[in-house]
Amino acid sequence: MQVTIELIDVNDHAPQFSTQRTRVRVSEGSLPGASISLPPARDLDSPPVNGVAEYRLVDETSCSGTAEGAPFDLRVERQSDGSDDVRLVLQSPGLDRELCDRYTLTIVASDAGSSPQKGGKN
């Protein structure tokens, strides 16, 4: 008799980024729609049940001239190999260094477990 045992993954790992901080330099002349590639989060739990399920952009910018916050959106596309293409996309009206010379954004990755775990990157 042969017995095969299949282990079912529990959600015991939070998504993690390869680095906790990334500095990106963007020209003030960049046009809306320009995108900046970012490294995706990894989760040691098995996808899709407990792997990375979503990303969220948190704007922590504190500039006096930007009432609406950072002009960036987060775009994530799942690739055919299961990896994520993560990008910041510049939105209209674009950038004005005289109003704000630095933006602080945090990307939060959440997994799909029954009690989701999160990991962040600035």
Q: Which domain holds residue 57?
A: 35-40+48-113
Specify if 86 maps to a domain.
yes
Q: What is the dihedral of CA 14, 56, 18, 89, to 10 degrees?
A: 170
3-state secondary structure (DSSP) of residue 3? coil
- pLDDT 10s digits, 79-108: 888 889 999 999 998 899 888 889 999 999
Question: Within the chain, which residues score under 50 in pLDDT?
Answer: none
- Residue 42's pLDDT is 86
Q: Domain tally for the chain? A: 1
- Residue 114's pLDDT is 66
- Residue 51's pLDDT is 75
